[in-house]
Homo-oligomer: A and B are copies of this chain.
């Protein structure tokens, strides 16, 4: 009876300030879940999450690459506004390797900073990717706790030219990948997902006893190359190592959701599952996922690069079995979370995120465009079912010649181009309902073309007229800023000697 009273009390409090749990995948594609049509059907827990919640079929990232996507999610703003882009060359994707000098500017307001005003305790588990230098530390931007790494788990490095990436607990590093946190590149074995799972379960358990709601940002990375899975999942998937990683994540998410239910707080916890960008087809088939019927993958502004799997789950609030065509964006998680916490978004800046709570709770549809950027170039815009490409590019002939292919097995003449093609005056137009694979551009002469482009042109004009780009953060690289001596390295004897500072323009070939 005590449990029951407590549960009722928790449910009543839910409307005021639910816990918020964002499950952000890394390089997972739209086509990787059974609920989205993956032919092996190996995600029973995520499929059940969808059946108990709401499936988003038209959900997007703000950028086809990890760092800008994550910066957009946490700021509610396009990378071109929050500074997570480069101007070193035209239309280039940029991120935060460990020699990048920039990171999230102090002027940006992050979701956890704002949630603090409503009493939230905020934790990030996994990949931060918004800058690794001290001023960019997540605990300086609103998070109360951190377990994870600032950069991608690339490596192993040699520690002389290149330090291995550190893992942090809160303010200090506790070890490095490949040294203290093993990833066996030969077998793909690593138990990191199990560690991240345990961190999540422990945090949720701890917070359940507190009076404060929590925000947990679970940003795991097993599906990012080098892909890994724990021993018990290795070899269990029909899809190879990538599938093993997906199965372990699926299993972990099932455990997290059941944990919420067992603690009696599922009706008081808003959960959203999505991914940072499309599947990295360049790493397929063993290290990359699937974008289902969509064109190309990560790094591109075709649907395969930016359409994401997405599921909202909040028993008792979001009706079970819902499927929505609402155009959504990772930036909406910022605005929606604020709204659920009873907070207003900052009024002193442009926010691109949309409050999706009317979609989630009342099944409404809100008309809004989707902007597809590469660097500071607006490559494409979607409005309703129409997508207009102002620029097309997969990658350069030079990179392609090296075997780097963002669209393996796919080739749409004049669309998946290896030179940057401008279509500003006569955009390439696709109807994503009839042609989700962006294979059949509409005839320029058709009335349908005229009507749709006229509408999108107005949207673009307004967007451009009011756009104030932020200071680009991803232009300068310097080996001196790498993770040589993260805080805490002394205790571990893991401090390395940094070279002298030698700032350079970062090279962004894509």
Query: B-contacting residues of A (Cβ < 8 Å)?
Result: 31, 34, 36-41, 57-58, 237-240, 242-243, 284-286, 290, 292-293, 295, 323, 325, 385, 408-412, 431-440
Contacts and interface: CB of A to CB of B under 8 A. Distances in A.
B292 A292 contact: yes
B284 A440 contact: yes
B439 A284 contact: yes
A237 B409 contact: no
Given A41-B323, A238-B433, A409-B412, A439 B292 contact: no
15 contacts: A39-B57, A39-B58, A39-B292, A40-B57, A40-B325, A41-B323, A238-B325, A238-B385, A239-B433, A284-B435, A293-B293, A295-B409, A408-B439, A408-B440, A409-B411
Contacts of A285: 431, 434-435, 439-440
Nearest to A307: B39
A286 B36 CA distance: 23
A67 B293 CA distance: 28
Copies of chain A in the complex: 2
Nearest to A238: B433
Nearest to A411: B411
A155 B481 CA distance: 71
Contacts of A286: 434
In the complex, which of the residues A40, A409, A411 has the most CB atoms of chain B within 10 Å of its own CB atom?
A: A409
Contacts of A284: 435, 439-440
B40 A433 contact: yes
A391 B238 CA distance: 25
A433 B237 contact: yes
Contact of A410 (B292, B411, B433, B438): B411
A290 B40 CA distance: 18
B240 A431 contact: yes
A365 to B, nearest CB: 13
Nearest to A240: B434
A343 B39 CA distance: 34
A239 B293 contact: no
A76 to B, nearest CB: 26
Nearest to A33: B37
A225 to B, nearest CB: 14
Nearest to A323: B41
Nearest 4 CB-CB pairs, A to B? A37-B37, A238-B433, A409-B439, A240-B434
